[in-house]
Chains A and B, each alone.
Chain A
Amino acid sequence: MSFLFGRNKQKSSAELSKLVKESILRLDSTASQKVRQIIDPFNPEQVYQLIVSLIQEDLLLLLAVAIPKLPFETRKDVQVIFSYVFRYKPPNSTMATEPLALNHVINSRPEVITALCRGYEHRESAMSCGTVLREILKHDAVAAIILYDEPKGGSLTNVTNGANASKGTTPIQYDIPQTGQGIFWRFFDWVEAGGFEISTDAFSTFRDILTKHKQLVSSYLSKNFALFFGRYNSLVLSNNYVTKRQSIKLLGEILLDRANYQVMTTYVDSADHLKICMNLLRDERKMVAYEGFHVFKVFVANPNKSMAVQQILIKNRNKLLKFLPDFLADRTDDEQFSDEKAFLIRQIETMPSSPTPPSVPQLAGAGSTVAGGGG
C-alpha cells in the first residue's frame, strides 16, 4: 500500500486533490460507511502499515487542507478516513493509550488540527471538518492546541515547510496571555457568519471546546478574561438570532460550571455585563429573554455583589420588582423558572437601600459572611 504514498510530495492543488482522491479510492472503493468493513478485513499488520505510512507521508495535513477542494462525496469519505485514523489504536495497545495517528498529530503535527478548524472558512468543508473536530475534541490536548494556537512567526515552524519541520514544534505555553490572533479566536467570526449550517456547526465545536475541558478552560478564561469576554459580548449582542440565543445559553453554562467559579465571580462583578444582561431581559423575543434570565440570576444570587452591580440593582429595584412578576408569565408549566423568579424577587426586595461594600473581597468571603450572620 505504501506505493500510494511513496511519490507523495507537495504538488499543485489539482495534482494534490487528484492524488488524495486516488488514495481515498484505494481506501474506500464503495461508500464511506463501508470504510470500516473494508479496512477491517485487512490483516492488522497491513492496517498498521497504512496508518504509519499516512503519518510518514504527512497525508493527514494534505487531506485536511484539501477538503474544501474535493468533490462532494469524496469530502464525506475523507471525513470517514479521519474519524477512522484518529481512532485507530495498534491491536496490542491498552485502552488508555492515545490513538496512534492522533498522538502523532498532537505531539508533532498540530497544524492538522488548525487546518481542520480552517475548514469553517469554506461552506464545502465546514461540516466534515466540524464532525472530525468534535470527535477528537474529546481529548484535552486537542482543545489545548486550538485554544493556545498563535500565528507562527518567522522563527517558528512554518506549515508549508513540509513534514520534517514538524520536529521543532514548540510546547504549548500556558502562561502567556493570548494575542487573540490564534485559531480559537476565529471561531467568534465563524459562529456568526455564513449560512445556518456553518455557523451552528461552528458553534457546536466552539461549545465543545469551552465545556468539555474544565480545568484547561477555566485557567484559560481566567488568564484571558478581558479578551475573551470582550469578544464574547459581541456574540451576545449579535444581530443573528441563532448566534445570540445560543451564546447566551452557553454563557450561562460556562458561568455556572463549578470549575469556572473564579471566572464567574469576575464576570458578575462587572456592571457592564449586568447592563447587557438586563437588556436581554427586555428583549422582545421571549427565548432570548429567557436565556438572558439564566445569566441575570447569577448576578442577583451572588452574595458578594460589587458596588457597581449593587448600585444598578438598587437603582432599578422598583422597576425590577414591577417587571419581574410579569416576566414570561406564560411559562406556567416551568416550575423551576417560577421558583427562580420568585427567589430573585425576594433577593431584590431584601437588598439594602444603598450599596454596601462586599464583606470580604472575593473567594474567602462566602464562608465568613455566614459566620458573621450567625453571630
Chain B
Amino acid sequence: MANQYQVLEELGSGSFGVVYKAIERATGDIVAIKHIDLESSEDDIQEIQQEIAVLSTCASPFVTQYKTSFVRGYKLWIVMEYLGGGSCLDLVWGKFDDPFEKFVTLWLTGFQLKPGPFSEAHIAIICRELLLGLDYLHREGKIHRDIKAANVLLSSTGMVKLADFGVAAQLTNIKSQRNTFVGTPFWMAPEVIQQAGYDFKADIWSLGITAMEMVNGEPPNASTHPMKVLFLIPKAPAPRLEGGNYSRDLKDFVAACLVKDPDRRPTAKELLKHKFIRGAGKVEELQELVERRQEWAGGKSERTSHPRLYEETMHTMGVKEERDEWIFDTIKAPTLAPTSKHTQKRRKLSVIEHDTPEEALQQLNINGSLRQSETQMNPAVQKSSERRRSSANKVASPGRRPSGQKQPLVPDMSFGNSGSTIRQFRRVSDNSPNISPESSIAGRDENRPPLVEAVTKESVLGRRVYSSVIENTFQEVHSQTGSQGKREALSRVADAWSALDAIDPEGEYQLLKLIIERVYSDPKLSSLLPVAHQNSPQRQKLVLATNNPHLKSHRRRQSLQVPQEDIWADSHQMNLPGRLIPGMEHTKILADVLYSRWAEGLKTRWPVV
C-alpha cells in the first residue's frame, strides 16, 4: 500500500511521529501522511486504534478527513487530507522548530514576530467554522478534548478544520461522561482538571481559550508553569478579554465560552447564534492570512529552500545479520551452529568436546542440583504465574511501560515541552468505552481489566480517595517541588500509586486508612494534625478520629494484649484484598515516603482546618 504514495517533504514532527507531504499516485492528490513508530510505543496499539476509530467515523468539511491507514514494517502510516495553510498557531506565530532560530528571527525583525495579526473578523470566521466542526463532533458523541490553535488547520483556500484526534473520545449511550485527564493544561476546562466527570462542553471552554490565544498569540497564564496552571484554572475566576482594544461582541463571545460551570456553558449550536459569530464573513477572507504567511515565510525561512526530504528510514528488516542461531535440530546440532564454512566443522566439534567436561561436572552434581531445582520449581512456577497475572493486569495500566517514559504527573513538563498535550493521565476508561457497568462486573476478566471495577464499598472509597485526595495532592506537591530530581522521585511515587489505584482500589483504601490510623496513634504526629470534622463525610470515612472508639480499643489492645494484636489483624484485615499479601510490602515503604508529602499537601489544601 505504501507504494501508492510518493512521499515528499516533511511537514512537521511531534511526540507522535513525523508528518510528511505525499502524493497519492493513483489520483495525483496531495495528502498528509503521519508516520507512527509502533516499535517505540510501549503503549498498547489499542490506543492508536482508538484515535483512528474516532477519525475514521468522521466525515465533515470541518474535520480533517481521514483516508486510510496501514502498517509498513513497524510503522503505521495514517493518510489524511493535506491542508496547505498550516495551523492557526503557525499563522499567528510563524513556524520555528528551533528556539535559537526563533530568537534570532525575533531579534532581526525587531520583535515583530507575527506574520500578521489576526483581526477580529478573521477570528470570528475561524470560531464559526470551529463551532460547526464541534457541533458535528458533539452530535456524533465525540469529544475532541484538545482544541487549541495548534490543532486547527487551514487549507490554502481558507477552509478551517479540526485536526489531531490523539486524545479524542467517543461517548457511547451507556456512558455520557468521561473522567480521563487529557488535554493541554492551558486550554483545559476546570471540570476536566477536577475530573469530576465532563462531557462535550469541555471543548467549548477550550474554544474560548483558543479565541484568546488567537487574539493574544498565547493562551492566558502562558508564562505560568503548566503544572501550576492546573490549580489555577479551577480556582481562579474564568479568564476574560479586557480593555478597549477588543469589540464588545468578541469579549462577550469569549465570556460565553469561558463559563466555569459546564451546565451553564452554551453548546456549540447555541454559540453559532452568538452575535460575534453571526457577523462573521466568508472563509475566503482567511486566504489572505495564508498568503501573508507564505510571503512572510518565503522571505525568512530556510525551510522552503531546504525542505527536509523524506528518507526511507526503515532498516530493511528482512535481512538478518549472520549470527548465533538457536540449535533446534537434535541430531545435527554442530552443523547448525554459527557460520557454515566447512572448515569450521572440526573446530565446532572440538568446542563441543570442550563442553563435555563441564557437563560431566554437572552430572556429578546432578543429585544435589536436581533436588534443589525440583523443590524450587513449584513455588517458582506459582510465583511466576502470580507475577504474570499482575503483569497481565498491567497490560492496560501504566505499569507495563518503563516508568521513565510517561508519568502520570505530566508526561514531560520540562522546559520546552510545556505546551504539549497530556495524552492520558490514567489510562482508564478510554480503553473500554463500551463496557456497561452491570456487565463489566459479571464479565470481569482478571487478565485485562484496564481498571479494576470498584465493586466493594472499600474499593469505591479507594477510588474516591485517589481521585479527590491523592492525585491532586501529588499534582500540587509536584508543582511546588523545585528540583528536577525530587520531582522525578515524586512522579515515580505517583506513578506507582496510580498503578495501585488501577489494580487494587480496595488495598489502596486500606493502605490509606492504616496510615491515618497510625498517624493518629502516634502521639507526636497526631498532635500536629487537625481533628477531623465530624460533618465532613469524606474524612469521616477515612479518618478514625482520636476519640474514635475503635481506635481507642485498638490502642488499648495494643498496649495491653500484645498477642491479641495478631488476632485482631487476622479477623479484620487478613481477608481484605491488598492487606498482608506478600509482595504488598513495598506499599508500606511507599506509604512512609508518601506520608510526609501527603500531610504537607493536606495542610496546603485545607490551611484553615
Residue in chain B with minimal CB distance to A344: B384
In the complex the two chains form, is A333's CB within 8 Å of B402's CB?
A: yes
In the complex the two chains form, is B438's CB within 8 Å of A95's CB?
A: yes
| Chain A interfacial residues counted at CB < 8 A | 84
Residues 94-146 of A at the B interface (beta carbon under 8 Å): 95, 127, 131, 134-135, 138-139
Q: Which residues from B are CB-within-8-Å of A372?
A: 374
Given the interface pairs A241-B38, A294-B388, A333-B402, the reply to whether A319 lies near B326 with Cβ below 8 Å is yes
Of A32, A201, A253, A315, which is within 8 A of B447 by CB?
A253
| Per-residue B-contact encoding for A300-342, CB less than 8 Å = 1, 0 else | 0111000000011001101100010000000111101001100
In the complex the two chains form, is A127's CB within 8 Å of B56's CB?
A: yes
Q: Does A56 contact B (CB under 8 A)?
A: no
In the complex the two chains form, is A242's CB within 8 Å of B45's CB?
A: yes
Given the interface pairs A212-B445, A315-B330, A334-B402, the reply to whether A197 lies near B140 with Cβ below 8 Å is no
Given the interface pairs A31-B140, A135-B434, the reply to whether A352 lies near B366 with Cβ below 8 Å is yes
Q: Which residues from B are CB-within-8-Å of A350?
A: 369, 372-373, 376
Among A35, A256, A339, A356, which residue has the most Cβ atoms of chain B within 10 A? A256
Q: Which residues from A are CB-within-8-Å of B442?
A: 138
| Per-residue A-contact encoding for B219-247, CB less than 8 Å = 1, 0 else | 00000000000000000000000000000
Which stretch, A157-165, A218-226, A279-287, touches the partner chain B?
A: A279-287
| Per-residue B-contact encoding for A345-371, CB less than 8 Å = 1, 0 else | 001001111101001000000100110
Residues 262-311 of B at the A interface (beta carbon under 8 Å): none
| Per-residue A-contact encoding for B345-374, CB less than 8 Å = 1, 0 else | 000000000010001001100100111111
Of B42, B53, B139, B388, which is within 8 A of A256 by CB?
B388
Among B69, B325, B373, B435, which residue has the most Cβ atoms of chain A within 10 A? B373
In the complex the two chains form, is A200's CB within 8 Å of B49's CB?
A: yes
Q: Does B61 contact A (CB under 8 A)?
A: no
Given the interface pairs A196-B71, A275-B328, the reply to whether A256 lies near B45 with Cβ below 8 Å is no
Given the interface pairs A253-B395, A256-B389, the reply to whether A32 lies near B140 with Cβ below 8 Å is yes
Q: Does B489 contact A (CB under 8 A)?
A: no
In the complex the two chains form, is A204's CB within 8 Å of B46's CB?
A: yes
**CB of A174 to closest CB in B, whole Å:** 20
Q: Does B15 contact A (CB under 8 A)?
A: no
In the complex the two chains form, is B52's CB within 8 Å of A197's CB?
A: yes
In the complex the two chains form, is A33's CB within 8 Å of B73's CB?
A: no
Q: Which residues from A are CB-within-8-Å of B370?
A: 352, 356
Q: Does B527 contact A (CB under 8 A)?
A: no
A170 to B83, CA, bound (A): 56
In the complex the two chains form, is A282's CB within 8 Å of B59's CB?
A: no
Given the interface pairs A134-B434, A282-B326, the reply to whether A31 lies near B447 with Cβ below 8 Å is no
| Per-residue B-contact encoding for A216-250, CB less than 8 Å = 1, 0 else | 00000000000000000000000011100110010
Which stretch, A3-11, A41-49, A80-88, A147-155, touches the partner chain B?
A: A80-88
Q: Does B119 contact A (CB under 8 A)?
A: no
Among B59, B390, B392, which residue has the most Cβ atoms of chain A within 10 A? B392
Of B317, B375, B390, B448, which is within 8 A of A211 by CB?
B448
**CB of A357 to closest CB in B, whole Å:** 12
In the complex the two chains form, is A370's CB within 8 Å of B387's CB?
A: no
Q: Does B573 contact A (CB under 8 A)?
A: no
In the complex the two chains form, is A241's CB within 8 Å of B74's CB?
A: yes
A95 to B389, CA, bound (A): 31
A312 to B333, CA, bound (A): 10
Of B49, B315, B377, which is within 8 A of A197 by CB?
B49
In the complex the two chains form, is B355's CB within 8 Å of A301's CB?
A: no
Given the interface pairs A356-B370, A373-B371, the reply to whether A76 lies near B395 with Cβ below 8 Å is no
Given the interface pairs A134-B434, A211-B445, A241-B71, the reply to whether A197 lies near B53 with Cβ below 8 Å is yes
Q: Which residues from B are CB-within-8-Å of A285?
A: 39, 74, 317
Q: Does B548 contact A (CB under 8 A)?
A: no
**CB of A181 to closest CB in B, whole Å:** 28
A-B contact count (CB 8 A): 194
Q: Which residues from A are CB-within-8-Å of B328?
A: 271, 275, 278, 312, 315
In the complex the two chains form, is A336's CB within 8 Å of B57's CB?
A: no
| Per-residue A-contact encoding for B433-458, CB less than 8 Å = 1, 0 else | 01110111011011110000000000
In the complex the two chains form, is B384's CB within 8 Å of A343's CB?
A: yes
Interface size class of B (residues with CB under 8 A): 35 or more
Q: Which residues from B are CB-within-8-Å of A253?
A: 392, 395, 447-448
Q: Does B172 contact A (CB under 8 A)?
A: yes
Q: Does B12 contact A (CB under 8 A)?
A: no
**CB of B133 to closest CB in A, whole Å:** 14
A340 to B445, CA, bound (A): 24
In the complex the two chains form, is B447's CB within 8 Å of A200's CB?
A: no
Q: Does A180 contact B (CB under 8 A)?
A: no
In the complex the two chains form, is B69's CB within 8 Å of A353's CB?
A: no
Q: Which residues from B are CB-within-8-Å of A334?
A: 402
**CB of B78 to closest CB in A, whole Å:** 8
In the complex the two chains form, is A311's CB within 8 Å of B70's CB?
A: no
In the complex the two chains form, is A318's CB within 8 Å of B355's CB?
A: yes
**CB of B348 to closest CB in A, whole Å:** 13
| Per-residue A-contact encoding for B541-569, CB less than 8 Å = 1, 0 else | 00000000000000000000000000000
Of B73, B330, B372, which is within 8 A of A241 by CB?
B73
Q: Does B97 contact A (CB under 8 A)?
A: no
Residue in chain B with minimal CB distance to A137: B443
In the complex the two chains form, is A245's CB within 8 Å of B173's CB?
A: no
| Per-residue A-contact encoding for B318-334, CB less than 8 Å = 1, 0 else | 00100111111010010
Q: Does A252 contact B (CB under 8 A)?
A: yes
In the complex the two chains form, is A256's CB within 8 Å of B445's CB?
A: no
A83 to B74, CA, bound (A): 34
A131 to B445, CA, bound (A): 19
Residue in chain A with minimal CB distance to B75: A241
Given the interface pairs A73-B59, A253-B447, the reply to whether A370 lies near B375 with Cβ below 8 Å is yes
In the complex the two chains form, is B172's CB within 8 Å of A83's CB?
A: yes
In the complex the two chains form, is B326's CB within 8 Å of A301's CB?
A: no
Of B53, B71, B383, which is within 8 A of A242 by CB?
B71
| Per-residue B-contact encoding for A265-304, CB less than 8 Å = 1, 0 else | 0000001000100110010111100000010011001110
Q: Which residues from B are CB-within-8-Å of A319?
A: 324, 326-327
Residue in chain A with minimal CB distance to B362: A353
Of B68, B375, B391, which is within 8 A of A336 by CB?
B391
A153 to B335, CA, bound (A): 52
Residue in chain A with minimal CB distance to B142: A33
In the complex the two chains form, is A339's CB within 8 Å of B330's CB?
A: no
A242 to B375, CA, bound (A): 40
**CB of B488 to closest CB in A, whole Å:** 12
Q: Does B378 contact A (CB under 8 A)?
A: yes
Q: 26 A-B pairs, CB-CB below 8 angstroms?
A: A34-B139, A73-B59, A76-B140, A80-B173, A127-B56, A131-B434, A197-B56, A240-B71, A253-B395, A253-B448, A256-B389, A256-B392, A258-B385, A284-B320, A285-B39, A303-B378, A312-B328, A312-B330, A319-B326, A319-B327, A323-B324, A340-B387, A352-B362, A354-B359, A366-B381, A369-B374
Q: Shortest 4 CB-CB distances between A and B: which pairs?
A: A373-B375, A333-B402, A303-B377, A31-B139
Besides A138-B436, A319-B327, A370-B375, 18 new A-B residue pairs in contact (Cβ under 8 A), listed by A number: A32-B141, A73-B59, A76-B57, A83-B172, A139-B439, A195-B69, A196-B71, A212-B445, A241-B73, A245-B38, A278-B326, A284-B320, A301-B385, A303-B377, A323-B324, A333-B403, A333-B404, A343-B383
Q: Which residues of A are interface residues toward B (Cβ below 8 A)?
A: 30-36, 72-73, 76, 80, 83-84, 87, 95, 127, 131, 134-135, 138-139, 195-197, 200-201, 204, 211-212, 240-242, 245-246, 249, 252-253, 256-258, 271, 275, 278-279, 282, 284-287, 294, 297-298, 301-303, 311-312, 315-316, 318-319, 323, 331-334, 336, 339-340, 343, 347, 350-354, 356, 359, 366, 369-370, 372-374
Q: Which residues of B are interface residues toward A (Cβ below 8 A)?
A: 1, 38-39, 42, 45-46, 49, 52-53, 56-57, 59, 68-71, 73-74, 76, 139-141, 171-174, 315, 317, 320, 323-328, 330, 333, 355, 359, 362-363, 366, 369-378, 380-381, 383-385, 387-392, 395, 399, 402-404, 434-436, 438-440, 442-443, 445-448
